[in-house]
Amino acid sequence: MGNARLLVVEDDVDIANMLKIYFTSLQYDVDVANRGRDALDKTKQVLPHLIVLDIMLPDIDGYEVCRNLRTSTRTSHIPVIFLTQKDERSDKLQGLELGADDYITKPFDIEELKLRVQGAIRRSERESLTDPRSGLPAGRLIEEQLRRIIREKDWALLDVRVNNFEAFKDVYGFVAGDDVVRFAAMMIGEVVDELGTTSDFIGHAGGDNFIIITTNEAAPNIRTRLKDRFASEVQSHYNFIDRQQGFIQAPKAEGGVEKVGFMYLSAGLVSPSLQSFADIREITELAAEARRQDTAATSAA
């Protein structure tokens, strides 16, 4: 997996810088926000794997930040560790009631904070809450969303896949493959922010496969924009020679090499306005079939 992403929300510049330097030395990708609203904006742009959140902030307090995170479908799964000078039992309970995963008081032992961060991230991944590369909701959280929408009417689900991904990894390696996964996750988030709603859900079903749950109205535009943007921007992940020739030379299982085109997205769209579903398995199966049809249509074009 790639480096876990931490967001440190702390208005004390010295503490924020110390945490950034320390966790960066442990191979985390660390971003810092000094205000609560900046933290919410940064979380929308790139999902962190965990947030270290000070309660006393200059604009909105950490409780309000946590409340916003927990009430948004996009961010409700992110582990939060509160960092504060308060040591009252009522303050701890308030944070935990809002859905914080842990609580540590200042002055704190940096080694203890490190262990709590590591434990929260491992717990989230072990419980199939997030994908370790993208930071997006995975397994159980995707299933929960499917169980929710099957009881509702105005929704659409997009099953999105990065085609030719395995061939790209065979040539460029796993690290480059993880970069593509993170790029795809970030781009999907940007497009959904632009064309969808704040209640839309984005999940990472694994490998090269993503799930988007949005509205009937927004889904077709999201689908078109995703495919166009990905086709335009993914070429930056290839070297100059491959970009010039328009393909890569990928190894074949039986030996030798074959020409493989650039990666591209296919997306299957299902909705209760188009189909009827008896259970969540039918949602995923019909979405996968729609996605395969889209792949075939794109390949034939």
The pLDDT value given to residue 8: 97
User: 245-283, pLDDT tens digit by residue?
Assistant: 999 999 887 888 899 999 999 999 999 988 889 899 999
Angle between helices 139-149 and 280-300 (to 10 degrees): 100
Place of tokens 């948004």: 72
CB neighbours of residue 21 within 10 Å: 10
The pLDDT value given to residue 40: 93
Q: What structural domains and CATH numbers belong to the chain?
A: 5-126 (3.40.50.2300), 139-300 (3.30.70.270)
Q: Would strands 209-214 and 201-206 be described as parallel, antiparallel, or unpaired?
A: antiparallel
In DSSP notation, 118-165 reads HHHHHHHHHTT-B-TTT--B-HHHHHHHHHHHTT-SS-EEEEEEEETH
Sequence-separated (6 or more) residues with CB below 8 Å from residue 56: 11, 62, 84, 85, 86
> What percentage of the chain reaches a pLDDT higher than 90?
65
The pLDDT value given to residue 1: 45
Quick one: CA torsion of 118, 119, 121, 127, rounded to 10 degrees?
Answer: 160
Per-residue pLDDT of the chain (301 residues; tens, 9 = 90+): 458 899 999 999 999 999 999 999 999 999 999 999 999 999 987 889 999 999 889 999 989 999 999 888 888 889 999 887 766 656 666 666 777 888 888 888 999 999 999 999 888 877 767 888 888 898 889 999 999 999 888 899 999 999 999 999 999 999 999 999 999 999 999 999 999 988 899 999 989 999 999 999 999 999 999 999 999 999 999 999 999 999 999 988 788 889 999 999 999 999 998 888 989 999 999 999 999 999 998 876 6
In DSSP notation, 205-264 reads EETTEEEEEE-TTTHHHHHHHHHHHHHHHGGGGS-HHHHHHTSEEEEPTTSSEEEE---E
The pLDDT value given to residue 76: 86
User: Are 8 and 20 spatial neighbours (Cβ–Cβ below 8 Å)?
Assistant: yes
* Residue of 80, 104, 78, 79 whose CA lies nearest to 91: 104
User: Are 105 and 85 spatial neighbours (Cβ–Cβ below 8 Å)?
Assistant: yes
Q: Structure pTM? A: 0.76
Rounded CA-CA distance 62/183 in Å is 29
Q: Which two tokens stand for residue 200?
A: 């839309």
**Helix or strand or coil: residue 15?**
helix
The pLDDT value given to residue 125: 78
* Residue of 212, 209, 158 whose CA lies nearest to 181: 209
Burial status of residue 19 (CB atoms within 10 A of its CB: 0-12, 13-18, 19 or more)? buried
